[in-house]
Amino acid sequence: MMVGMELATCVKYGIGLNVVVFDDGHLNMVRQGARRVLGSGDDFQLPVVDFVAWGRSLGCETHRLTDAEDFALLSRPARGPRLIIVPIDAQANLRNARERVFNFPEES
């Protein structure tokens, strides 16, 4: 939802790119950051968002991937922006190699 204007601009000018949304139903980047920095935080759960309808309302070719075979569509050239929705587990917690820099660690 943070790239709506950019997608609309790409639609207007026919700029082909793939934008992938990892849909876990939460503001997970914010949730994970709050837990790492503060030790706890809100759940940051979103209301159900129909990202397929949202992408199509912007004029994007939009797909919700449901199995590994669906990823083959990424090999097709895009004539404009393509929004790809990938449902993921809300408990997935990937490590960020730059985390120590962004969290301003104390010097030892």
Phi and psi, residue 106, nearest 5° = -70, 145
Q: Is residue 26 part of a domain?
A: yes
Q: Is residue 102 part of a domain?
A: no
Q: Is the pLDDT of residue 107 over 60?
A: no
Give the tens place of pLDDT for each residue, 2-61: 788 999 999 999 999 889 888 888 777 777 777 777 877 777 888 888 999 999 999 999
Burial of 42 (0-12, 13-18, 19+ CB in 10 A): exposed
Q: Is residue 54 part of a domain?
A: yes
Q: Is residue 73 part of a domain?
A: yes
The tally of domains found in the chain comes to 1
24: containing domain: 4-95
Query: By C-alpha distance, which of 48, 84, 60 is closest to 4?
Result: 60
Tokens 């990937």: give the residue: 94
Q: Is residue 107 part of a domain?
A: no
Backbone dihedral region of 106: left (phi > 0), alpha (psi from -120 to 50 degrees) or beta?
Answer: beta
> Looking at this protein, which amino acid is placed at residue 85?
I
Q: What is the CATH number of the domain that holds 45?
A: 3.40.50.970
